[in-house]
Amino acid sequence: MRLLIVALGAEVALFAAIAPNFLTVGNLAEITRSSVELGLLATALTPIIVSGGIDLSVGSMMGLAAVVFGAAAARGSVTIAAVLAVLVGMGGGGLNAVAVARLGIPPLIATLATLSLFRGIAEGLTHGAVNYSGFPSSFLFLGQGYLGGVIPAQLPLFLLVLAGYVVLLHRSVVGRAWYAIGFSPSGARHAGLPVSKRLALAYVLSGLTASLAAIVYVAHLGQAKADAGTGYELDAITAVVLGGASISGGRGTIWGTLVGLAALATLQNGLRLAAWPSELTGVITGVLLVTTIAFRRWGSAIVGEEKPVRNGQVAIICATILAGAILVSGTNVWLVRSLQPSQLAAPKLGGVAEQRRRVTIAMMPKAKGDPYFVSCRAGAEEAARELGIDLIWDGPTGLDAAKQNEVVENWITRKVDVIAVSVENRAGISTVLRKAQQRGIRVITWDADAEPDARDFFVNQATPEGIGTTLTDEAARLLDGRGDFAIITGALSAANQNEWMVHIRKRLAEKYPDVKLVTVRPSDDDRDKAFAETQTVLRANPSVRLIMAIAAPAVPGAAEAVRQAGRTGVSVIGLSLPNMNKPYVHAGVVQTVVLWNTKDLGYLTVYAGSRLANGTLASGARSVEAGRLGSLEVRGRDIILGAPLLINKSNIDTFDF
Amino acid sequence: MIGVRERSVAIAIVVLATVLAVFTERFFSAANLTDLFLANVPVLVAAIGATLVIVSGEIDISVGSAFAVCSVAAGLAAKAGLPVAAIALVTVLLGATLGAMNGALVAFARVPSIVVTLATMVALRDGLRWATQGEWVQDLPATFQWLGQSQAVYPVVIGAVASTLVVTMAWSARDLAAGRAIYATGSNPVAARLAGLDVAAVKFSVFTLAGALTALAAVINAARFTQVPSNSGLGLEMKVIAAAVVGGAAIRGGRATLLGTVLGVVLLGAIGPALTFLGVNAYWERAIQGAIILAAVVFK
């Protein structure tokens, strides 16, 4: 524990040095707010781990509870919806309890199964796609408001649950039973403790707390979707284990979990404020986790016993961490340099400093790892170089609306000049974008829009309707107006793809009654899965003569499946990037790739941001001057890139991304 | 050798096969079965490693991330012009190294394996994303796909490799002292140590072996295509652990058979395609898989 507090202190010191506005009340409130949901899960997980078990299903339970809450709130009152969600949480926890406590199934396996089950039920109920929003603002206050202007509104709830668990784990017979069971389940049984009852309680409470976390999540984000809480279970386990709980049971405290949680939340927040890539979070968390535990076990001679870390070792660890911190900040020379002139110049030169200070544009894709967005980044950086501005490129590594909000909050703290977001969730992001606007930051959306009043301009490359129509028309053309086709989409819950499919179905109904959509299969943005799904679809539905793959990795996957099956009569079209499809387009397997110039999209966004920041682009403008793209049309507050591009054999070699 | 769990999984497979035979026509075509086979052999190879890790009393959830890293490495090795055998060797060595990293932390630093592999899972996945920036490995030499064989011969070659591997591993686990040491370590580490086994060495070796098998799985899988994505193996760790557990592996260690793992891979690998053939909507698939895993562990 001492070691962890030292590490936490080192983190705070490091980030206070290199990250702007880290050590402010506003940022502290932000760290607190973003850790409530995870904190609830970690708190509930502590007694489970202490008693020698584990619960991998907490994140999925969040998804199920969120969906139940959303569906109920859409039809009735929020209060009843909350009660229902909590009941579902207790029910799910009860299922785990029966499996582990009554049937004696190892918790890892039981909760691994319920992880799939709960998430699966949530997806099944909503078809993966339905996204509940439009909650009353009195409810949203719980997740987004501040008490007294400073304290995040969800904090009292968290403190209440925390207090309950502290009493239960540390001050009651129940808690002592949990520790005893963790040390030795058979010993506890022989001592007369009601082992099954105590274990059951821990799991039921975990389900209940997960549903509370889901309600907070929905209030925070303003949306309820089946993918809520994805991945949270691992972060929660990390926090608990970091905080000193032994994974084999018998050791751990709520306080330790809190410190572990603080260490994680501070790390994430600090890295973002310092504009370090978010991939580092995972790497550093991993290193932190392994190092603190390895050192904890260091020196214990007897298997299972843990000696406290000696002072000498603590000193070595402190020195290592601080040395690492100094190395990191040392390599951040440009950051340090860029901070100093604005601090020095401001008092002396006043207005002139404004012009000399470089404009900072913070740009966020939906998913950093997606090759589509990687190509947008290339264009964005090109524009940043031409204009001489600082570009921060960050965001979640996968589709994650909650993380997008967090990143924007960090940018607000950092006081960037312009925020440009490709929005994963419209309702959820708009609140935080409005907040940015209130703080004087200019806001643009690109690729996918937020609510119009939450941003200054939207860089629009193609409307969902345009995309759906173009794809459907191409499919109909290749099928000669009649035939069966199948869609391979990304993830079932991906908002873009679902919107396109709405327009595709509409277009089919309006214009192509003889073209039938036979089935929709998900690829989860995994090329191999798209390959396997296409293979199966072709065999299960031999009448299918066209595969429409609407996620970038899915097109080459589907194409390879068609090619390997030797089905030359089947066409493949989709929405993807040129490079990964070149061999298939040239071989005639893929007929058309629908896209737009993604590099130009990134390029245009940065130019628009820059023009917005220096005032040359303001509301009422009819056009915007964008470097090598020339003068582009502005319709209302939408900046239009151009029409969707049909990429095929004749023009694919002119693209390189 | 055929225990209760293996029997119940086998029965489940027979039931599923019967349903498919009755309600669909094309599931049992040679082409479809070959496709399913090729898709699941990598899962099986990785699951062998996962089973051994579970038998030794530990767990490895970094399989998917290691798979992704090794796939990219294989692609890069091919781009560098290495011959097929060298590509396989280099990748397997890389996988063994990654496994050894896990093994060292588990066996010598005595950090619990769930913690170590949680850390490596995240670190490898994020590190790979950072290094590749989402770019795929493209423009591979023509000998990469099918490892220089033809599309028709490849399944045969892979089938031979996989069955040799399964049979050898199954035999070694039972009849080699090294194999029995793994079971002993898993079922009671204290007794094993007192009996003279070097428990740390056993665990270290098991993780290293599992890493090598994961890398082999990555090569077998990557060679089915002409490009290597930067994010393969998503969810692989859950697949292999579920397959091992459904096949009868006790998560506390000391009990599992490779036959059970094979059956587990077959059952879980068949669910998705079966649902497609039966016309069930995709969004119930995950719920059904969870229910099946739960049923498999509840009904002992």
User: Residue A116: what pLDDT?
Assistant: 87
| pLDDT above 60 for A454 | yes
CB-based contact A552:A577 (threshold 8 Å): yes
Q: A288 vs A82, which has greater pLDDT?
A: A82
Q: Is there a contact between B276 and A109 if contact means CB atoms under 8 Å apart?
A: no
User: pTM of the entire structure?
Assistant: 0.85
A371 contacts B293? CB cut-off 8 A: no
d(Cα B64, Cα A113) in Å, to the nearest integer? 18
Chain A partners within 8 Å of B71 (Cβ): none
Question: Judged by CB atoms within 8 Å, which residues 590-609 of A form the interface with B?
Answer: none
* Residue B9, C-beta contacts closer than 8 angstroms, at least 6 positions apart: B246, B247, B248, B260, B263, B264, B267, B296
**What's the start-to-end Cα distance of chain A, in Å?**
49
Look at residue A298 in the predicted model and tell me its pLDDT.
66
Looking at residue A628, the DSSP 8-state letter turns out to be: G
**CA-to-CA distance for A418 and A401, rounded, in angstroms?**
20
The confidence score (pLDDT) of residue A349 equals: 38
pLDDT tens-digit readout, A250-290: 889 999 999 999 988 888 888 878 777 777 777 788 887 88
Nearest by Cα to A234 from B95, B114, B209, B257: B114
Backbone dihedral angles phi then psi of residue A623, each to the nearest 5 degrees: -150, 160
The shortest CB-CB distance from A277 to any of B110, B116, B130 is to B130
**CB B178, CB B267: distance < 8 Å:** no
CA atoms of A174 and A590, how far apart (whole Å): 63
The answer to whether A433 and A419 have CB atoms below 8 angstroms apart is yes
- In angstroms, rounded to a whole number, what is the distance separating the alpha carbons of residues A208 and A41? 10
Q: pLDDT tens digits, residue range A410-449?
A: 899 888 999 999 998 887 788 899 999 999 999 999 988 8
Q: What is the pLDDT of residue A341?
A: 42
Nearest to B135 among A371, A539, A556 (CB): A371
* CB spacing of A108 vs B251 below 8 angstroms: yes
Burial label for A350, CB within 10 Å (0-12, 13-18, 19+), is exposed
Residue B283 host element (H or E): none
Verify whether the Cβ–Cβ distance B227 to A580 is below 8 Å: yes
Lowest mean pLDDT, pick from A389-393, B90-94, B135-139: B135-139
pLDDT at position A486: 96
Q: Is A136 on the interface with B (CB under 8 A)?
A: no
Looking at beta carbons, which residues of chain A come within 8 Å of B189?
303
Report the pLDDT value the prediction gives residue A387, as an integer from 0 to 100.
92
A-B C-beta contacts closer than 8 Å:
215
Sign of the C-alpha dihedral, residues A245, A246, A247, A249? negative
- Residues of chain A contacting residue B267, judged by C-beta atoms under 8 Å apart: none
> Quick one: pLDDT band at residue A567, thresholds 50, 70, 90?
very high
How confident is residue A507, by pLDDT bands cut at 50, 70 and 90?
Answer: very high
Q: Does the distance separating the beta carbons of A539 and B227 come in below 8 Å?
A: no
Among A38-47, A327-336, A529-538, which is the least confidently predicted range? A327-336
Contact criterion met (CB < 8 Å) for B115 and A289 = yes
B58-81 average pLDDT score = 95
Range A138-151 average pLDDT? 84
Cα B153-B155-B157 angle, rounded to 5 deg: 70
So what's the pLDDT on residue A318? 54
- Low-confidence winner among A500-509, B142-151, B217-226 (lowest mean pLDDT): B142-151
Place of tokens 């051994």: B52
Q: Is the pLDDT higher at A218 or at A342?
A: A218
Taking CB atoms and an 8 Å cutoff, what residues of chain B touch A128?
Answer: 282-283
* Residue A484, amino acid: D
Query: How far apart, in whole angstroms, are the C-alpha atoms of residue B263 and residue B281?
Result: 25
When pLDDT is cut at 50, 70 and 90, the band that residue A171 belongs to is: very high
Name A521's bridge partners: A488
CA distance B277 to chain A (A): 5
Whether the CB of A79 is below 8 Å from some CB of chain B: the reply is no
Classify residue A327 by burial, with Cβ atoms within 10 Å: 0-12, 13-18, 19+. exposed
- Check B283 against A373: CB less than 8 A apart: no
pLDDT (0 to 100) of residue A346 = 38
| pLDDT recorded at residue A33 | 86
Does residue A484 sit in helix, strand or coil?
strand
Statement: residue A308 has pLDDT above 70: no
Q: Do B134 and A369 touch (CB under 8 A)?
A: yes
Per-residue model confidence (pLDDT) at position A322:
57
Task: Give residue A338's pLDDT band: very low, low, confident or very high (50, 70, 90).
Answer: very low
- Cβ neighbours, 10 Å, residue A3: 20
The C-alpha torsion from A407 through A409 and A411 to A414, rounded to 10°, is -130
Residue A537 and residue B276: Cβ atoms within 8 Å?
yes
Residues of chain A contacting B283 with CB distance shorter than 8 Å: 123-124, 126-128, 492
- B291, A117: Cβ pair inside 8 Å? yes
Task: Determine the Cα–Cα distance for residues A588 and A603; give it in Å rounded to an integer.
Answer: 31
| Predicted local confidence at residue A321, as pLDDT | 57
Instruction: Summarize the confidence of residues A445-467 as an average pLDDT.
Output: 88
**Residue A186 confidence (pLDDT) above 80:** yes
Say yes or no to pLDDT of B265 above 50.
yes
3-state secondary structure of A390: strand
User: Is-contact A165 A261, C-beta < 8 A?
Assistant: no
Q: Do B232 and A106 touch (CB under 8 A)?
A: no
Which residue from A248, A298, A526 is facing B234, i.e. has the nearest CB? A526
pLDDT score, position A276 = 79
Mean pLDDT of A286-298: 77
- Which residue from B26, B129, B189 is facing A369, i.e. has the nearest CB? B129
- pLDDT-derived band at B279, boundaries 50, 70, 90: confident
| Entry field: residues in chain B | 300
* A134-138, B42-46, B60-64, B225-229: least confident range: A134-138
Task: Report the C-alpha gap between B192 and B189 in whole angstroms.
Answer: 5
Give the orientation angle of helix A527-540 with respect to helix B30-55, to 10 degrees.
140
Q: Which of A283, A296, A598 to mutate to test the interface with B (most CBs of B within 10 A)?
A: A283
The C-alpha R_g of chain B, in whole angstroms, comes to 19
The residues, any chain, with a CB within 8 Å of residue A604's CB and separated by 6 or more, are A379, A383, A446, A459, A626, A629, A632, A639, A641
Task: Please report residues of B whose CB lies closer than 8 A to that of A119.
Answer: 286-287, 290
Q: Tokens for A40, please give them.
A: 């609830």
Query: Phi first, then psi: what are they for A147, rounded to 5°?
Result: -85, 130
Lowest mean pLDDT among A158-162, A236-240, A298-302, A537-541: A298-302
> How much is the pLDDT for A340?
45
User: Which chain A residues in 183-242 lie under 8 Å from chain B, judged by CB atoms?
Assistant: 234, 237-238, 241
Better pLDDT: A371 or A512: A512
pLDDT tens sequence across A211-254: 999 999 999 888 898 888 888 888 899 899 888 888 888 889 99
CA distance B195 to B177: 13
Distance from the Cα of A25 to chain B's closest Cα (Å) equals 31
Q: Is A381 on the interface with B (CB under 8 A)?
A: no
- Looking at every residue in chain B, the average pLDDT score rounds to 90
Q: For residue B231, which residues of chain A lie inside 8 Å, CB to CB? A: 369, 525-526, 553
The pLDDT value recorded for residue A299 is: 47
Q: Which residues of A touch B236 (CB under 8 A)?
A: none
The interface pTM score, or ipTM, of the predicted complex is 0.90
Task: Note whether B283 contacts A127, CB cutoff 8 Å.
Answer: yes
Percent of chain B with pLDDT over 70: 99
What are φ and ψ of residue B253, in 5° steps?
105, 160
DSSP A522-558: E-TT-HHHHHHHHHHHHHH-TTEEEEEE-STTHHHHH
Is B148 in contact with B240 (CB distance < 8 Å)?
A: no
Task: Indicate the average pLDDT of chain A.
Answer: 86
Name residues 52-71 of chain A within 8 A of B (Cβ). Answer: 54
Nearest to A397 among B32, B129, B283 (CB): B129
| Distance, CA of A578 to CA of A650 (rounded, Å) | 12
| Greater model confidence, A310 or B244 | B244
A531 touches B: beta carbon within 8 Å: yes
Tell me phi and psi for residue A517, to 5 degrees.
-90, 110
Please report, rounded to a whole number, the percentage of residues in chain A having pLDDT higher than 90: 48
Is residue A311 predicted with pLDDT exceeding 50?
Answer: no
Element (H, E) at A251: none
Quick one: closest CA in A to B296, which residue? A113
- State the pLDDT at residue B294: 79
- Closest Cα in chain B to A285: B119
Taking CB atoms and an 8 Å cutoff, what residues of chain B touch A556?
Answer: 227
Give pLDDT, residue A320.
Answer: 56
Nearest to B98 by CA among B133, B143, B130, B68: B68
Say yes or no to pLDDT of A351 above 70.
Answer: no
Evaluate if residue B110 carries a pLDDT over 50. yes
Q: Can you read off the two tokens belonging to residue A436?
A: 């940015």
Distance separating alpha carbons of residues B35 and B31, to the nearest angstrom: 6
Q: What is the pLDDT of residue A603?
A: 94
Interface test with A, best of B65, B102, B130 (most A CBs within 10 A): B130
Sign of CA dihedral B116, B118, B121, B123: negative
Q: Tell me: pLDDT of A365 over 90.
A: yes
Q: Cβ A120–B288 below 8 Å, yes or no? A: yes
| A374/B134 CB distance under 8 A | yes
Residue A549 clears pLDDT 90, i.e. is over it: yes
Distance spanning both ends of chain B, measured CA to CA: 16
Q: How far apart are CA A55 and CA A215, in angstroms?
A: 19
Does residue A154 surpass a pLDDT of 80?
yes
Is the pLDDT at A491 greater than 50? The verdict is: yes
